[in-house]
Structure 1
Amino acid sequence: MTQENDAPRGFSRRGLLSAFAATTLVAAPTFSNAAGFLRGAGDIRRLKMYNGRTGEHMDTIYWIEGSYIKDALKEINSFMRDWRRNEVKTIDTRTIDIMAASHNLMNTNEPYTLLSGYRSPKTNAMLRSRSGGVAKNSLHLKGQAADLRLGSRSIHQMAKAAKSCQAGGVGTYRGSNFVHMDCGAVRAWNG
């Protein structure tokens, strides 16, 4: 279940808010004529992704001025579904925020390539049987993790941006060229 207001152990709300504040400074020149935005009146969070397995594209604003947009979150949930089984799960907004803040910090318009979002227990078991790098109790099972790639940024750059949020786990997978981001305990690893 999505927790929008509670900050569980290992989740630094201050770290995540600092990351969004930093992205606001990056975005400020673009909106230099929008005095309301510079006073905090234009708090907007956006997520852009592409899924090579399904061919789907998504570009949605999911947060405006302190409120999540329910229809946009439904779109994200559907996009991040287990495409192998076509099963949808609510994606934790903390993970969505980490993904969006990291993307903004990298100052790119390129959408993330989503490799894995939610995984059903059957999909996770199947992937686990094929690879030692898949956790039995993966946060993907809870809708709290995403495996992402950007063509215009290295996995080192992606991981650095995600780590700067100080809000969850960041795994760097050099061999497969992707970064895992989740809203679990603050930690980092190399796969």
Structure 2
Amino acid sequence: MAALTEHYTLPVPGFDAPVRLLIVVAPYYRAIVDDLIAGAKTMAEGAGAAVDLVEVPGALEIPTAIGMAGRLAQYDGHVALGCVIRGETTHYDTVCNDSSRGLTLLGLQGLCIGNGILTVENMEQAAVRADPSGQNKGGGAAAAALHLIALQRRWAGAKRPMGFGREGERDVIRLAGELDGSGQG
């Protein structure tokens, strides 16, 4: 049935101003992650983005590193790459859920993040998903970050009125007296 499913991929956006991406990688399964990195870099560079890469010990540390970069560095977007393969314990569920939740919360705070942390049952599934000439999940994560950056830039100039004022009017709060602050009124 999966072979009958059609997938649509949005075209990668173009940018007038330079884009800086940070790729944060948990290299536990090095061969898989190297493919994810290759796919992400190819996608990012094809869109004209400059790329930096940092490694962290595991998938649980990826959201922390991205959160720190969001506060302390000047990146337009972030790409999370890693691989979690189901084992014999519930640790798999914790790592998958908490890394995903951490990235989602950072995204809701306004960071542009593409999540390329593979969560699979076995090494064969990981290899298929990581392959840059196959499913290219690394490239997909970079593309997701680029799309979010494009949206953020598009909406960055939009200003919403504050309080009860109408667009184009400034809000005036008069507590007592005249607007000049004389207290007469």
Which structure: larger Rg?
2
TM-score, with length taken from structure 2: 0.22
Higher strand share: 1
